[in-house]
A and B are shown apart, each in its own frame.
Chain A
Amino acid sequence: MMTWFGPEELQAVRLSIKVASWAMVASLPIGILTAYALARWSFPGKQLLNGLVHLPLILPPVVTGYLLLLLFGPMGPMGQLLAALNISVAFRWTGAALTAAIMGFPLMVRALRLSFELIDPKLERAASTLGASPLWVFWSVTLPLALPGVVAGSVLAFAKAMGEFGATITFVANIPGETQTLPSAIYAFLQVPGGETSALRLVVISVLISFAALLVSEALNRRLIKRLAAA
């Protein structure tokens, strides 16, 4: 089983970083909008939206993965809709990214919502009395003030995406080079005799990447908070 050595490990690491990065970047705008709506607006169905956002945090990952398969699989309504647009997610790395994004979404929204709630609405009101339209108030005042939350939420979502296993393997399986992310690869190595060393190497890499992400976000956050503490 020495063929499992080397390239596959690298492949899994590369794929995981790609999947997690896409998941983080793509969910950020939606996450910001959702968190802002939950923090500042009152609208019918707010609690329902809040529950829906948090569902992946509470559901067993296998259940989430299976629901995704039903929805986005080749026979699912979303899957057929996407197929019409010539996009396929089932058993593709895009499906892994989608899964990772959905699993990391509640963590991202929680961090963002908290930072929106901490902003003094007077700052936003001041901006609008100075002539700024609501959209410009958000862009020039609210979002810069929420930047620590954006950083924290992104890192959490990235870390969650790097480690996501249950929903991913249920939805897009474990195809080397396509959907075999770091945790799936570790799992696969542990299933074969003599794979322990490869698994261990991947475990070390996994720890290092997570730790580095955390350190970078901490450093960024400290700088931001220092700047924001000005007022």
Chain B
Amino acid sequence: MTDSHPDLECRDLVKDFSDFKAVDRVSFDVPQGSFFSILGPSGCGKTTLLRMISGFQSPTSGDLRIKGKSMIGVPPNKRPVSMVFQHLALFPTMNIGDNVGFGLRQRGVGKAEIKKRVEEVLERVGLPGVSARRVDQLSGGQKQRVAIARCMVLEPDVLLLDEPLGALDLKLREHMKVELKALQAEFNTTFVYITHDQSEALVMSDNIAVMNKGRFEQIGAPHEVYHEPATAFVAGFVGDANKFDAKVTSANGSMLSLVTDAGTEMKINAAGASLNAGERTQVFLRPEAIELVATATTNDEGCNVSPGVVESVLFNGANSSVTVRNSAGGLVKVALPQTGGFAALQKGDAVFTRWQPKDARCFSAAEAGS
């Protein structure tokens, strides 16, 4: 009989502290072998959620199952879960081999067998022969791999990672994102990754849960969370976006006409937003959804086109952008195309911005809670 249970299931998980609800009715499944990220700003409850999964805190109500077995009341050392900590938490009193073999010694595995398995797992993470070294003789990236090896040698059902890249410098962090994803594929173990960094979550995950104020706002694949945000919070938190506060002037099916508080008029095709004339709304528009054009043409039929002046050029290689102040006085951020046509763009240049009504997302301002 095959095991049909997901590796990790949470059902209506709640954690009440005396003065606030840290985690509020969170439910999700993580299928075997997938990379699942929990993404949210600090204070959103993701650390509390992680502590409940690892067993350091018990939920006020709800159930938490690993491979179908409820973990309520099971202490951390008895759960089939390992954890990589933010500052890795390698034991400074032990060498690398003893660090990696620590969990196996707990299980009463023989000395020779421990040595063999430690060597094997170190080889799998690309660090053969480092057993005898001290922790301080390794680089940041190597320590990261040792921390993962120390967990993976125990073959856990679920590996929890608590912002493990937070302490690394930018270059190494970029590199480790790719490496972590590769290690996850290599071990085919379920990873649950906690982070506040949306780019880490987007790059590595099969699925992302976006968490805010104790609740999951959306669970989905990275491209869904990015392109089809379910709430205003997700639209604003994941990726870069221009945000406009606006008022609906007329609604014709899904086609809305809006006027922003800065006075810009725009048309939006907002299927499913169900907004009526007179309602307040928040509009999100990705910088890369906006085109820069030198002149307005007849192709612009149905598009939102407005003239503006370049306010500043933010050169950042492939991620360069410009901010444009349009005729009504509003500021928009526009991704600078890499084709080179606007390479010489300067502050003060006159341009047109153009974007499709279907590319913006809008949410009722009442729901957004602003």
Contact = CB atoms under 8 A, between A and B. Distances in A.
A132 B77 CA distance: 6
A145 to B, nearest CB: 6
Contacts of A30: none
A84 interface: no
Interface string A106-126: 000000000000001011011
Given A125-B56, A229-B136, A130 B82 contact: yes
Interface stretch (B22-30, B99-107, B290-298): B99-107
**Interface size for chain B: under 10, 10 to 19, 20 to 34, or 35 or more residues?**
20 to 34
A129 B76 contact: yes
B216 to A, nearest CB: 24
A227 B93 CA distance: 7
Contact of B150 (A130, A132, A133): A130
Given A125-B56, A231-B135, A131 B103 contact: yes
Interface residues of A, number: 23
Nearest to A133: B77
Interface string B168-202: 00000000000000000000000000000000000
Nearest to A137: B77
Interface in B13-57: 54-56
Contact of A129 (B81, B91, B107, B135): B81
Interface in A183-231: 227-231
Given A129-B81, A129-B82, A230-B92, A122 B87 contact: yes
Contacts of A228: 92-93
Interface in B69-88: 75-79, 81-83, 85-87
A125 B85 contact: yes
A136 B75 CA distance: 14
Q: Which one of A123, A131, A140, A228 has the greatest number of beta carbons of chain B within 10 Å?
A: A131
B151 interface: yes
Given A130-B150, A132-B77, A227 B103 contact: no
A182 B86 CA distance: 53
A120 B91 CA distance: 10
A227 B92 contact: yes
A131 B87 contact: no
B89 interface: yes
Contact of B151 (A128, A130, A141): A130
A144 interface: yes
B154 A130 contact: yes
B77 A123 contact: no
Contacts of B87: 120, 122
B103 A229 contact: no
Interface in B133-152: 134-136, 150-151
Contacts of A126: 83, 85, 89, 91
11 contacts: A126-B85, A128-B77, A129-B83, A129-B151, A129-B160, A131-B107, A134-B77, A141-B91, A228-B92, A230-B136, A231-B136
